[in-house]
Copies of this chain bind each other. A is one copy, B any other.
Amino acid sequence: MKQVPVGVSARHIHLSKEHIEILFGKDYELTVLKDLSQPGQYAANETVKVEGTKNCFEKVRILGPARGDSQLEISKTDSFYLGVKAPVRESGDIEDSPGIKVVGPAGEVEMEKGVIIAARHIHFHTSDAEKWGIQNKQLLKVKVNGERPLIFEDVVARISNDFALDMHIDTDEANAAGVKNGEMAEIID
């Protein structure tokens, strides 16, 4: 059985160093609220406001550390609420995605792009992938036996020595499956 823990990604934002400085002030450094399952990644204490065309979210959690490009990851439900037509994309693939206005305590940023719905994916440490014969970018079928059982198709395999085994789905997907953070899913194909 190829079992993988489920990590439910709530809406969050990654920010570039430049944007952190505009939003929070020169030389500002994010502070760690909680380490995440992927080594080196953390939820920051800091949040920002994001303003869509229809509604806004007052407190969107920042995930650190700073990245090259800012990226807001939301669910499709969030995209309807905000009024932003976010595409389903792999993290980092932000060309031609919509932007959004971000507001922090020290300033505002008009992101020109970077609003996406993250494509469901599994992080594999290289050793897990080798053990199970899984290739990078392979599309997997994963069964989730939550309160509302279902099988996710086209789950993207992402393999690295820096990753810990974890399947990332968003809140729509978690709620559709009735599954919670830390519960197990099974790769069936």
Contact = CB atoms under 8 A, between A and B. Distances in A.
Interface of A: 75-77, 88, 119-120, 147-154, 170-173, 175-178
Given A77-B171, A176-B177, 12 more contacts: A76-B178, A77-B77, A77-B172, A88-B148, A88-B178, A120-B148, A148-B152, A149-B153, A150-B150, A151-B151, A170-B176, A172-B175
B154 A151 contact: no
16 contacts: A75-B175, A76-B176, A77-B77, A77-B171, A77-B172, A88-B147, A88-B148, A88-B178, A148-B173, A150-B150, A150-B152, A150-B153, A170-B176, A172-B176, A173-B176, A176-B176
Interchain residue pairs A-B with the least CB separation, the first 8: A76-B175, A176-B176, A151-B151, A172-B175, A149-B153, A173-B176, A172-B176, A172-B172
A16 to B, nearest CB: 28
A151 B148 contact: no
Nearest to A176: B176
Contacts of A176: 76, 170, 172-173, 175-177
A50 B79 CA distance: 23
Contacts of A149: 153-154
A154 B149 CA distance: 7
Nearest to A173: B176
A152 B152 CA distance: 9
A55 to B, nearest CB: 12
A141 B152 CA distance: 13
Nearest to A148: B88
Contact of A151 (B75, B76, B88, B150): B150
Contacts of A120: 148
